[in-house]
Amino acid sequence: MHSYGIRVATRDDLGEARAVMLDALYRDFGTGYVPRWHEDVIDVEGFYLGPDRHVLLVAYDEEDGAVVGTGALDSRGPRHPQWLADRYPDGETAQLRRVYVRPEHRRRGLAGRMVAELLDFARQDGRYRSVYLHTYRHSPGALDLWRTLGKELWEEDDGVVHFEIPLS
Ligand SMILES: CC(C)(COP(=O)(O)OP(=O)(O)OC[C@H]1O[C@@H](n2cnc3c(N)ncnc32)[C@H](O)[C@@H]1OP(=O)(O)O)[C@@H](O)C(=O)NCCC(=O)NCCS
């Protein structure tokens, strides 16, 4: 039986965290790396370690120390459509991003634990008013996970699904 820890990522975690993210983009989403959507995956430090209202968590296997999952939060709301951007503005919206768990470590509660810690981080910040994310209908486990945690706002024709997660 594996046991896992969750911690705020440091520079030492970035290589492994990036590998988890890239594997999800290639194997789960099937899009691979697309610069206009995934620049944070390359500049993980600039997006998540520098800004004090952003954070990246990693889940790690306590046996060998390997990073097996990631979960991030930043202060950017959705860009489109306009009604969604208006409802979840930059600065007041904590956006959950890059919640990925390596396939062999799934269904052991890691995403749930990381999201709980990300929500704590957002509450402690004090300036976030809501929590938003988008995901993809076809991604393994994604809709199941987010439906247990929040409310579906809108699904686009191409399978992008938008959610709000309660902050309190
Ligand atoms: C979605 C994902 C992050 C879930 O990670 P996880 O660590 O396995 O999730 P958890 O174990 O915390 O699951 C919490 C709950 O979500 C639901 N859930 C998660 N994955 C599920 C699945 N494949 N099928 C059905 N329900 C699922 C269950 O209710 C689960 O609770 P339970 O195991 O007690 O029944 C993981 O499957 C993944 O990395 N998928 C590919 C990338 C992705 O789509 N990420 C999310 C999009 S942003």
Distance 68 CA to ligand 1 centre (A): 14
CB distance 12 to ligand 1 below 6 Å: no
97: confidence class by pLDDT, cuts 50, 70, 90: very high
Cis amide prior to 81 (ω within 30 degrees) = yes
2: confidence class by pLDDT, cuts 50, 70, 90: confident
CB distance 135 to ligand 1 below 6 Å: yes
CB distance 101 to ligand 1 below 6 Å: yes
1: confidence class by pLDDT, cuts 50, 70, 90: confident
- What are the structural domains, with CATH classification, of the chain? 4-130 (3.40.630.30)
Across the range 72-84, mean pLDDT stands at 96
Tokens, residue 148: 């247990």
pTM of the predicted model, to two decimals? 0.97
Q: Using CA atoms, how far apart are residues 50 and 54, in angstroms rounded to an integer?
A: 8
HSE of 45, CA atoms in CB hemisphere, 13 A? 7
For ligand 1, atom 40, which residue shows the shortest CA distance? 140
pLDDT at 122 > cutoff 80: yes
